[in-house]
Structure formats: structure tokens, C-alpha cells
Amino acid sequence: MQPLTAAQSALLTGGRLEVSAGCEVLNLALAVTADISNDLVGGSVTWNGDAKIHRACQLTMSTELAWGNVLVRPYMTVSDGVTSARFNCGVFSLTTPERPLGESPVTFSAQGMDRIYLLDREIGATYTVTAGTTYRAALVAVFAAAGLSGYLIDGEAADFTVPTTRTWSLVGSSTDPDQTSSPVTYLRVTNDLLSAVNFRAVWADESGVFRCQRYLPPSVRAPEHTFDADDLSTSIVGESRVSTADIWKQPTRWVFRWTNRPGGMADVEGDGKYTYTLPDADPMSAANRGLVWTTVVDYEAASQAVLTSLGDRRVANDRRVAQVFKVTTGPWPVAGHWDMYTYTDAAAGGTFKVQATDFEFDLLGGDASWSWEVVS
């Protein structure tokens, strides 16, 4: 979530709002080249945390752009007549413009994807990162090779070095149904490097900046805002609210192997392998279910310790029994990447710590739609 001042938080939860939308045209370096707010008719923004390209938009405008060669940054301005604030809503490459024929005045409807789309391009050559390179230096080199700037990389990426030389071979597209490899993209290399140090996959923030951040379990992350459906003075939670529970099939035993271990792979616990087995007291353990369910996962990792942290992350994800709330709220243009919230709703049974897994909001101020997953 974008950082909020106390005044901005009060503005968004304070009742009557005047909402207007604007849009800027940017170049690849994220510099503004034009403001086309007067040509923006309307639009929406969606985000899905599990998607390869997380944020997308649908914009309607009365001007034709150099489709595919420029970026746009829609924004929302919110006011209560006294206080106003502007919120950027992402930077997008508009990839699928439509023009209704016979319409006057002419409008264009265009779909767009955030700047991760620009990383998802084939490299077109074998790509190598040499052993001993810091992961930060390797990430900077990938962005440079992709011809893209505007990134923030957590400092911890410099604390790890690539343990063995890593090569992504040149692979071409094929119609062969037996082909198991696919052409390598800058996005694939970036995310492989990030995974090896237990970082999140790269994402683009509301201003279009690439973000490379260490993964933190939702259980240890602090909520960024409270949505209280019961407080009529500040609640912007809509009447449409649904609770569902998803039961995930899960293993009882996980085996994780370190594929880029110096000296080669080794089937040795604590030196090339990490095994996690549910304790007998766990309701989903083999002792209670009568069967052992094993899954084997291979990881590239900067070290054995990172392999263990990646394994613990996978175990926690596989063991989720998720309660999900599908809710609507008033305008919330500060929605971001895997936001954490506190949700209070007597009808749902109390107060919950939740993580947003997807959202959609209207640029002209319509309600936002959310999926919030309960974090235990």
C-alpha cells in the first residue's frame, strides 16, 4: 500500500468524496512527456498477486497514442472540498487498443499491462551470471541488459553471492509437443535470481518502479490499515460481503534439494537437502491420515540456509487452509502489492488479519472489489 499521511487516511474514510481521474504519458525512463487528463474518459485498474504480470488496466480515451511505444500513468485525485490528494495508480504499456467504427467523437478503448510486461521479453542469446557475483550486481545487470531503468533493490541482495556459475541457454520456440523448455526472458532471469535469495518475484509499484524485496511471511508483516465494517463513522466497507473457505490438499512430508550447490547436488540432509515432516500431533500428519504424502521440490539457492528458508516458505504456503473474504469498499486508490490489513466485521465473527490477493477499482471513484485472505 502507498504510504498514507493521517490527513490522507482521514480523507479516504471521511465520507463524501469528489473523485477525478487523470493520465500522464511517460517515456521508458519514466519521465512525463504529456498530460492527457482531458482526453481520459474513464477506466479501471486490476491487480492479482499470483499473476506473472500483476497489474493491468482498461482505459477509454479520446486521443490516439503511439500504441506500444509509450507508457501511461493514470492517477486519481480525491477531495472532500477542503483537503485533496493525488494517487498514482500504476504505469502501463497499452497493448490492445480498440476503436469503435462510425463513432463521433472517436474514442479508443485500450488494455494495458504494467512494466513487468517490458521485462517479459526474450533475451535472444545465452545469458550467464558468473559465480562470485553478488545478487544485487546480477539484478542490476539484467535491468541494464533489458534497457530498463527505474528500480529499487533491497540491500540484502548484496549480502549473497552466486555460488556456481549460472547459465540460461538460448532456446527457441517450437511446435514440438515434447519440448519442455521455453525461450528465456529477462523476467525469468530476474525472478530466478530473486528466488535464490528468497525474495519476492519482481513487481512494479504505483509509479512504475521495479521493486525487488525480501519475502516476509504474512504472519510477521504488520497491517497497513484497518477496515472496520462496524464503525459507521469511518467504515467504507460495502454491504456486499462473502466469506469462503478453501481446503488445500497438502503433503505430510516435503523434500527440498539444492540444485546449484557448489560441488554438485548431494542427497545429504543439511548439505544439499532439507526435509520437513509434519509432527504426529498435527491433524494433517501421516500418523493421523494413515498415509505419507511426499512432495519433492528443487530450488536454486544462494546457500543451504536460504534453501531452508525457501522450504519453510513452501511448507507454509502448501499448508494454508484459507478463509477468504470477498468484499467491496469505497474508493481506495492506494491499494498496492500484497497489502496487509486488519478487517473487523461482527457478522463475519470478529477481527481478522488479512492479506489482499486481488483487487479492482474504478478510476472515476466507483467501489473497489477485493479478495482478502485471512492470515493465521
CATH of domain 218-247+321-374: 2.40.30
Cβ pair 199, 157 in contact under 8 A: yes
Those residues with Cβ within 8 angstroms of residue 322's Cβ, 6 or more apart along the chain or in another chain: 245, 246, 248, 373, 374
What is the SS3 assignment for 325? Answer: strand
Distance of alpha carbon 250 from the chain centroid: 24
Domain 6-112 fold is Thrombin, subunit H (2.40.10)
Secondary structure of residue 361 in the 3-state scheme:
strand
Block residue for cell numbers 472496520: 228
Q: Are 356 and 341 in contact (CB under 8 A)?
A: yes
CA atoms of 321 and 343, how far apart (whole Å): 18
Query: How confident is the chain (376 residues) per 10-residue block, as mean pLDDT?
Result: 88 87 96 96 96 96 89 96 94 85 81 96 96 98 97 96 95 61 90 97 98 95 94 84 73 96 95 97 90 95 97 88 87 96 93 96 94 90
> Cα–Cα distance between 234 and 371 in angstroms, integer?
20
Burial state string for 221-233 with b = 16 or more CB within 10 A and e = fewer than 16: eebbbebbbeeee
| Residue position matching grid coordinates 509437443 | 177
DSSP 38: G
Residue of 264, 261, 288 lying closest to 277 (CA atoms): 288
**For residue 68, with 0-12 CB atoms within 10 Å meaning exposed, 13-18 middle and 19 or more buried, which class applies?**
exposed
What pLDDT score was predicted for residue 321? Answer: 64
Selection from 152, 155, 137, 157 nearest residue 204 by Cα:
152
Residue 370 β-bridge partners: 327, 359
Question: Cell 528465456 appears where?
Answer: 184
Dist CA 50 CA 207 (whole Å)? 20
Pairing outcome for strands 210-212 and 151-153: parallel
